[in-house]
């Protein structure tokens, strides 16, 4: 019997539908199910995507359809892509209240099925929503994580390639911390062709004018520019999700920045944040601890403090919710 690679996507909007498209075009999934509170939208997206299967570049005839949460009983991967788009001028943390409310609804469905696979959560604020769901479901951290600073890292590679003229594949680097405003470039771990970026700049007069602060700002501002211009981000994060799913299905042991619960790594606990992770068949199989400078360690700690405060808010909100049910039988 041939084992099919089944991916269930909760949320059939911009991000969810593009994750499905990336999986279809890459041939990384055989069975794709879209779940959305707007059932007709999920059905329409599935039919439109199914038309695209006929011309998939990989030549794989993936099955795609709309469905319900019962589809999770035999699913390998669950992608959380529910939620509204970020508004111009809004940070991802500003979406907290709306997203926590939606997450609680999704959790109520998850508790009614027997999902044994791996969850990759994209819904913003990504670090917080993913960790909130993980805690409520009691899942091990290896099977519940999010792309974290994947998109910031993609943007870092783009910006450095444009500013230096070197191919993206020749540049190694990453961002850490929150998927949001407190993320930061780990300059001590940025290399071009295996050479530290600082040394590279010192040897190349044409790069001497580059400012690390300006490059950091350009990377951080990218998401805001995209939101202001088109109202959402969808292509980059969909490709990142597809890359991570591929690493799981093929047991690649890919080292890539994702957001995961931390249990002492980098001196942090009771928080989930973007760090270099090993991605393989069991999901997030381990955290890679690299040497940070004192300044980088402080930036990471400050970012984790922000995330911790919002996770505390989420827990307080849940406690209030449960108290209301206990007292009144409903909210």
Active site residues: 179
If residue 175 lies in a helix (H) or strand (E), which one and from where to where? strand 175-176
Cis peptide before 47 (omega within 30 of 0): no
Distance CA 246, CA 242 (A): 6
If residue 17 lies in a helix (H) or strand (E), which one and from where to where? helix 14-26
> Would you say 172 and 161 are in contact if contact means Cβ atoms under 8 Å apart?
no
Distance CA 150, CA 296 (A): 18
> Would you say 128 and 314 are in contact if contact means Cβ atoms under 8 Å apart?
yes
> Would you say 237 and 21 are in contact if contact means Cβ atoms under 8 Å apart?
no
Cis peptide before 125 (omega within 30 of 0): yes
**Residue of 284, 314, 329 lying closest to 95 (CA atoms):** 314
Distance CA 23, CA 7 (A): 9
Tokens of 308: 């911790």
Residue 19's contacts (CB-CB under 8 Å, 6 or more residues apart) are 9, 79, 81, 122, 238, 241, 242
Tokens of 28: 């990384």
Angle, CA of 314, 320 and 321, to the nearest 5°: 85
Beta bridge partners of 273: 260
Backbone CA torsion sign across 46, 52, 54, 57: negative
Phi, psi of 269 (to 5 degrees): -140, 165
């Amino acid at each position: 019997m041939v084992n099919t690679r089944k991916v269930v996507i909760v949320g059939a909007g911009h991000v969810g539908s593009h994750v499905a498209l990336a999986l279809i075009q890459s041939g990384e999934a055989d069975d794709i199910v879209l779940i959305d509170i707007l059932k007709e939208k999920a059905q329409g997206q599935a039919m439109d995507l199914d038309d695209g299967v006929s011309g998939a570049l990989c030549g794989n005839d993936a099955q795609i359809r709309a469905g319900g949460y019962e589809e999770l009983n035999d699913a390998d991967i669950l992608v959380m892509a529910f939620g509204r788009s970020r508004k111009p001028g809004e940070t991802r943390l500003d979406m907290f209240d709306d997203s926590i409310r939606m997450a609680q609804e999704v959790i109520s469905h998850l508790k009614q099925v027997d999902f044994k696979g791996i969850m990759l959560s994209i819904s913003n604020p990504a670090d917080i929503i993913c960790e909130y769901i993980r805690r409520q479901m009691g899942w091990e951290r290896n099977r519940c994580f999010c792309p974290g600073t994947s998109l910031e890292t993609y943007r870092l590679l783009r910006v450095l390639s444009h500013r230096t003229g070197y191919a993206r594949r020749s540049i190694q680097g990453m961002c850490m911390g929150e998927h949001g405003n407190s993320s930061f470039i780990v300059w001590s771990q940025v290399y071009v062709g295996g050479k530290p970026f600082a040394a590279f700049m010192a040897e190349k007069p044409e790069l001497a004018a580059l400012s690390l602060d300006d490059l950091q700002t350009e990377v951080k501002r990218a998401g805001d520019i995209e939101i202001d211009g088109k109202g959402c981000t969808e292509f980059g994060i969909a490709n990142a999700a597809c890359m991570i799913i591929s690493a799981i299905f093929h047991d690649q042991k890919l080292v890539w920045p994702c957001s995961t619960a931390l249990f002492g790594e980098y001196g942090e606990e009771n928080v989930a944040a973007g760090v270099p992770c090993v991605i393989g068949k069991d999901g997030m199989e381990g955290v890679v601890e690299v040497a940070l400078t004192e300044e980088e360690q402080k930036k990471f700690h400050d970012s984790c403090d922000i995330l911790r405060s919002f996770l505390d808010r989420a827990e307080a909100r849940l406690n209030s919710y449960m108290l209301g049910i206990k007292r009144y039988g409903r909210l």
